A and B are shown apart, each in its own frame.
Chain A
Amino acid sequence: MPEARPTWWPALGLVLLYAGLVLLPYVLSYSQKEIAVFLVINVLLVVSYRLLTLTGEWSLAHVVIMGVGAYGSALLSKRLGVPVPLSMLLGAGTAALVAYILSFPLLRMKGFYFLIGSFAAGEIVRLLWKRFREPFGGPKGLKLIPEFPEIDIGPLYVDFFEPQNYYYFCLIVVSLSIWVMYRLERSPIGLTFHAVHWQDKLAEAVGVDTRKYRTLAFVVASFFAGLSGALLAHYVGTINPNRFNVEEMVFVLTWAIVGGTATVYGPILGAVVLTAINEVILRELGFEQMRPLLYGAILIASVMFLPQGLESLVPKVSRLFTGGKAAKGGAAEPAD
Chain B
Amino acid sequence: MYEFLFQTVLNALYAASYMALVAVGLVLIFGVMGIINFAHGELYMLGAYAVVGVYADWEYPYFLAVAVGLVFTGLVGIGMERGLFRPMRDNPLGGLVVSIGFLLILQALAVLGFGVRMEFIPPPTQAVIEVFGSDGAVLPLQRLYVILATILLLAALWWFLRRTRFGWALRACAQDPEAAALQGISINQTARIAMFIGAALAGVAGALTAPLVRTYPYMGHSVIVTAFIIIIVGGVGSLEGAVVAAVLYAFVHTFVTTFYDGVIADIVGLLLMLLVLIVRPTGLFGTKERA
CB distance from A256 to the nearest CB of B (A): 10
B residues within 8 A CB of A295?
A: 101, 104
Residues 123-168 of B at the A interface (beta carbon under 8 Å): none
Say yes or no: A131 contacts B263, CB within 8 Å. yes
Q: A116-B232, A116-B277 are in contact. Are A292 and B98 (CB under 8 A)?
A: no
Docked complex Cα distance between A118 and B9 (Å): 31
Residues 268-303 of A at the B interface (beta carbon under 8 Å): 289-290, 292-293, 295-300, 303
Binding-face segment, A69-77, A79-87, A121-129: A121-129
Which of B84, B104, B221, B267 has the largest count of A CB atoms less than 10 A from its CB? B104
Residues 217-246 of B at the A interface (beta carbon under 8 Å): 221, 225, 228-229, 232, 236
Docked complex Cα distance between A203 and B270 (Å): 33
Docked complex Cα distance between A297 and B98 (Å): 9
**Any A CB within 8 A of the CB of B24:** no
Contact with A along B104-120 (1 / 0, CB 8 A): 11011101100000000
Q: Which of A117, A257, A296 contacts B102 (CB 8 A)?
A: A296
B residues within 8 A CB of A113?
A: 277, 281
A residues within 8 A CB of B102?
A: 296, 300
Which of B94, B264, B274, B278 has the largest count of A CB atoms less than 10 A from its CB? B274
Docked complex Cα distance between A48 and B225 (Å): 26
Docked complex Cα distance between A289 and B264 (Å): 32
CB distance from B224 to the nearest CB of A (A): 10
Q: Which of A119, A292, A307 contacts B105 (CB 8 A)?
A: A292
**Any B CB within 8 A of the CB of A212:** no
Contact with A along B83-112 (1 / 0, CB 8 A): 010011000111011101111110111011
Contact with B along A103-138 (1 / 0, CB 8 A): 001001101110111011101100110110000000
Docked complex Cα distance between A127 and B229 (Å): 16
Say yes or no: B101 contacts A303, CB within 8 Å. yes
Say yes or no: A116 contacts B228, CB within 8 Å. yes
Say yes or no: A292 contacts B104, CB within 8 Å. yes
Per DSSP, are chain B's interface residues mostly helix, strand or loop, or mixed?
helix
**Any B CB within 8 A of the CB of A246:** yes
**Any A CB within 8 A of the CB of B271:** yes
Say yes or no: A296 contacts B277, CB within 8 Å. no
Docked complex Cα distance between A131 and B100 (Å): 27
Q: A128-B267, A293-B105 are in contact. Are A253 and B277 (CB under 8 A)?
A: no
Say yes or no: B270 contacts A120, CB within 8 Å. yes
Which of B84, B108, B261 has the largest count of A CB atoms less than 10 A from its CB? B108
Q: Which of B88, B104, B112, B261 contacts A250 (CB 8 A)?
A: B104
**Any B CB within 8 A of the CB of A205:** no
Say yes or no: A112 contacts B264, CB within 8 Å. no
A residues within 8 A CB of B92?
A: 111-112
Docked complex Cα distance between A117 and B275 (Å): 10
Contact with A along B162-204 (1 / 0, CB 8 A): 0000000000000000000000000000000000000000000
In chain A, what residue has the closest Cβ to B105? A296
Docked complex Cα distance between A292 and B101 (Å): 8
Say yes or no: A296 contacts B103, CB within 8 Å. yes
Docked complex Cα distance between A300 and B273 (Å): 29
CB distance from A222 to the nearest CB of B (A): 18
B residues within 8 A CB of A304?
A: 87-88, 98
Q: A108-B278, A130-B263, A293-B104 are in contact. Are A307 and B111 (CB under 8 A)?
A: no
Say yes or no: B273 contacts A120, CB within 8 Å. yes
- A interface bracket (residues with beta carbon within 8 Å of B): 35 or more
Say yes or no: A300 contacts B84, CB within 8 Å. yes
CB distance from B125 to the nearest CB of A (A): 34
In chain B, what residue has the closest Cβ to A289? B111
A residues within 8 A CB of B277?
A: 105, 108-109, 113, 116-117, 120
**Any B CB within 8 A of the CB of A58:** yes
Docked complex Cα distance between A112 and B34 (Å): 11
In chain A, what residue has the closest Cβ to B273? A120
In chain A, what residue has the closest Cβ to B95? A303
Docked complex Cα distance between A289 and B112 (Å): 9
Say yes or no: B101 contacts A300, CB within 8 Å. yes
Docked complex Cα distance between A292 and B225 (Å): 19
Docked complex Cα distance between A175 and B231 (Å): 42
Contact with B along A74-100 (1 / 0, CB 8 A): 000000000000000000000000000
Docked complex Cα distance between A290 and B105 (Å): 9
Docked complex Cα distance between A145 and B88 (Å): 45
Residues 186-229 of A at the B interface (beta carbon under 8 Å): none
Q: Which of B93, B98, B261, B263 contacts A300 (CB 8 A)?
A: B98
Docked complex Cα distance between A131 and B260 (Å): 12
Docked complex Cα distance between A112 and B38 (Å): 12
List residues of chain B with CB under 8 Å of any chain A CB: 36, 84, 87-88, 92-94, 96-98, 100-105, 107-109, 111-112, 221, 225, 228-229, 232, 236, 261, 263-264, 266-267, 270-271, 273-274, 277-278, 281
Give me 17 A-to-B residue pairs in the complex whose CB atoms sit less than 8 angstroms apart, sorted by A's number.
Answer: A109-B277, A117-B273, A120-B271, A121-B270, A123-B225, A128-B267, A130-B263, A131-B264, A257-B97, A292-B107, A293-B108, A296-B100, A296-B103, A299-B100, A303-B88, A303-B94, A307-B94
Lowest 7 A-B CB distances belong to which pairs? Answer: A296-B104, A299-B101, A293-B108, A296-B105, A300-B101, A292-B104, A296-B101
Q: A120-B271, A293-B105, A293-B109 are in contact. List 4 more A-B contacts (CB 8 A).
A: A105-B274, A131-B264, A293-B108, A303-B88
